[in-house]
Structure 1
């Protein structure tokens, strides 16, 4: 069972448009609403794989009520923490060529009491959990050290924590030794303060995050594959080229696959690559089911191609 925490969840509304004309009245040809936020996406992928998951989320206003209902429809247990502000709504405009224009709301500002209630909700629901996945940016009102408090409390209770965040929140939490952190190439580069243009440079950056406290680093490198750097060594996983429909939530699907497969070692990395590869071939933020996975297309090796240039280097 995997508990996820999304401190700043959302309702994600997508509108498909025949064209995007600034200043015009636009009529959508299709629209949909999904529960959103990185931890929520992890829960969606875990539930799609047939595993139990509990999503801890702050919920406010009618938007929060709708989010809770949608989580239930996805087979996810919602552990909602009432907050005064309304759950944010994010808007995606989809053009016929699949170009996406996103408008993300800031979300509510949480009080000190609401922040403590979130920590307590995680503690209350995490008993017996295999993993706690803490994912996404922190809302207003929560300082960058907030995730560090959660990791410290979880470790005192003997629980394992996966952390998927970036910037100051990631930096402030490394000293508490999260069991795995999951940056992408851009977040790796930000964390070490320099460009990343090759697989080898990504390996070096991941090693530096381990030196700063992370017990393992699962790094997404886009079309180039994924890295796992932990105490046993370095592993590189990749799959063959695929037709990408949407990369929204692909990293979240990868983390879900990794944790559901045990959260350590090359087998878990292979599961992460299979889930991420399946996710990019699905529309919007749809999470893959076991039927979407092609594990035989995944290769995992400890012969890491350190000289390989990244298809999308971070400058």
Structure 2
């Protein structure tokens, strides 16, 4: 069972447009609403793969009630923590060439008591969890050390933690030794304080974060592939993708694939890349099912191509 923690969940509304023209009335060709937030997306991918998952998240207002209902419709056990503020609504606009325009709302401000309630919900639900995936930005009211506290408490209870966050929250949590962290290239560059121009640069940055406390680093390098650096060694994998339709939630699908495949080793990396490649070929923030996956399209190497330039260098 994978338990996910999403401190700032959302309802994700996606509109597909024939064209995006400012200052006009636009008519969508298709639209959908999905439960959102990075941890929620991980739960959706885990459920789509046929595994049990519990989603812990603060939920408030009618938006929170709709979020809980949608989670249930996706086969996810919703462990909603009542909060005073309303759950946020995010909007994604998709153009025919797959260009995305995203509008993310701020979300509610959590009180100290509500923040503690979320931690307590994790404790009471985590006994049977194989992994706890803590994902996304922190809402207003939660200090950067909140994830560090969650990691520390979960480790004392014997749980394994996968952490997907950035900035001060990631830096603070490293000292508590999360078992896996999952930065993208930009987050990796920010964490080490220098730009990344090659895969080798990303490898050195991942090794540095392991020295600072992370048990393993699963780094998403966009179209260039993914890098796994752990105690057993470093692995690099890429996948063929025919058409990119939407990259919303692709990184979350990758983390779900990694954890459901055991959360370590080259086999888990292949699963992560296969899930991410499948997700970008689906509309909106749809999560791949086993029928969408093509592990044979993944190329795995234990010889990391250090000199390969990144398609999109991280500043």
State if a TM-score over 0.5 links the two structures: yes
Tell me the SS of whatever aligns to 2:175: helix
Task: Give the superposition deviation at 1:95.
Answer: 2.4
- Please list the CA deviations of residues 212-240 of structure 1 after superposition, one character each: whole Å capped at 9, or x if unmatched: 10010000111111111111111111123
Q: Which residue of structure 2 lines up, in the alignment, with residue 7 of structure 1? A: 7
Instruction: Report the secondary structure of 1:149's partner residue.
Output: helix
Provide the secondary structure at the position in 1 that maps to 2:246: coil
Offset of residue 241 of structure 1: 4.3
Whether the aligned pair in 1 keeps the contact of 2:245 and 2:282 (CA below 8 Å) is yes
* Equivalent in the alignment of 1:39: 39
Residue 286 (1) aligns with residue 286 (2): yes
CA distance in 1, matches of 2:49, 2:157: 27
* 1:159-174 superposed matches below 5 A: 159-174=159-174
Structure 2 residue aligned with 1:80: 80
Unpaired runs of 5+ in structure 1? none
Structure 1 position 180, deviation (Å): 0.2
Q: After superposition, where does 1:68-107 map in structure 2 within 5 Å?
A: 68-107=68-107
Q: How is 1:50-199 mapped onto 2 (pairs within 5 angstroms)? A: 50-199=50-199
| Number of positions where the alignment pairs a residue of Structure 1 with one of Structure 2 | 315
**1:29 match:** 29
Structure 1 residue 308 corresponds to structure 2 residue 308 = yes
The equivalent residue for 2:209 is: 209
CA apart distance, 1:33: 0.5
Write the distance in 1 (CA, Å) between the matches of 2:295 and 2:96: 31
1:237 aligns with 2:219: no
- 3-state secondary structure, aligned to 2:229: strand
> Does 2:222 correspond to 1:222?
yes
TM-score between the two structures when normalised by the length of structure 1: 0.98
SS, match of residue 271 in structure 1? helix
Instruction: Return the alpha-carbon distance in structure 1 between the equivalents of residues 95 and 229 of structure 2.
Output: 38
Cα deviations by residue, 1:112-168 (Å, 9 ceiling, x for unpaired): 000000000001111111000000000000000000000000000000000000011
CA shift, 1:299, in A, is 2.2
The 10-residue stretch of structure 1 (110-119 or 232-241) with the greater mean CA deviation from structure 2:
232-241
| Cα separation, 2, equivalents of 1:59 and 1:254 | 25
- SS of the counterpart of 1:176? coil
Matched residues in 1 for 2:113 and 2:300: separation?
45
| Matched residue SS, 1:305 | coil
Moved more, 87-96 or 156-165: 87-96
Task: Deviation per CA, 1:232-282: give whole Å up to 9, x if none.
Answer: 111111123432111111110000000000001111111111111111111
Aligned equivalents of 2:37 and 2:175: distance in 1? 25
Quote how far apart the aligned CAs of 1:96 are: 2.8
Deviates more, 1:91-100 or 1:170-179: 91-100
Match of 1:197, SS?
A: strand
* Two-structure CA RMSD over aligned residues (Å): 1.0
Q: What is the CA distance between 1:93 and its match in structure 2? A: 1.8
Q: 2 CA distance for matches of 1:94 and 1:249?
A: 14
Q: Distance in 1 between matches of 2:20 and 2:267?
A: 44
- Rounded to whole Å, the distance in 2 between the matches of 1:94 and 1:300 is 32
Instruction: Tell me, in whole angstroms, the C-alpha distance in 2 between the residues paired with 1:172 and 1:165.
Output: 11
Structure 2 contact 241–281 (Cα < 8 Å) conserved: no
Partner-residue secondary structure (3-state), 2:4: strand
